[in-house]
Structure formats: structure tokens, C-alpha cells
Amino acid sequence: AIDPQFEQNRELEGQEHGVDVWGPTDPPEELGIRGTHVAVDFDICIADGACLEDCPVDVFEWVDTPDHPESEIKVNPTNEDQCIDCMLCVDVCPVDAIDVDPG
């Protein structure tokens, strides 16, 4: 599961697709955690898609991640500033790849 303390335990490496990238990263196999308020661990995400389908405010967008061992697409939290903290995405993800921090 995603580490809910990632902001303490990881380093901010920059931005991609409009959201923060928390390392370590070593593409294409290791992509890190993407986003901060709505955070998706790209190395855990298996592209199930339930988060994207259920989010009432369309926070997520697919991005291509060719040659990643878990899946070749991932959900980027592009519109994380729109999040209303409903926690649906956290609840539906089968691999616990998402952390939403209402704080």
C-alpha cells in the first residue's frame, strides 16, 4: 500500500503531468508517488480504473507508462485541486495505491 507518510519519507523530485513527483524514481520501472493532496503510488497502481470512474469531480487522467512492470497506464491526479475529499478513490482501489489527505 501507499505510504501515508510519503511527504516525510520521500524526496520531492519535481513535477510531471502537472503534479508533484515524490521519488525515488528510475524510469521506466520505478515512477514514484504522483500528486500530494491526492497521491497515487505509480509503482503500486495496476490500472484498475475504479478511482477514475468513481471520482465525482474527475480528478484523474490516464497517462502512458510504457514498460512499467505493473501496468502500461496509470491514473495521474491531474485535477487534485478539485478534490472534495469524498475518499471514494481510496476505498475502491484494489491495491491501496491512493492516499488522500484532507489536512
Contact footprint for ligand SF4 (CB under 6 A): 38, 54-57, 59, 83-89, 100
Q: Which stretch binds ligand F3S (CB under 6 A): 7-15, 24-32, 41-49, 79-87?
A: 41-49
Q: Which of 2, 33, 38, 75 binds ligand F3S (CB under 6 A)?
A: 75
* 30: its cell numbers: 520505478
CA torsion, ordered 94, 102, 54, 89, to nearest 10 deg? -10
**Dihedral sign for Cα atoms in the order 51, 35, 76, 9:** negative
The residues that touch ligand F3S, with contacts defined as CB under 6 A, are 40, 45-51, 75, 92-93, 95, 97-98
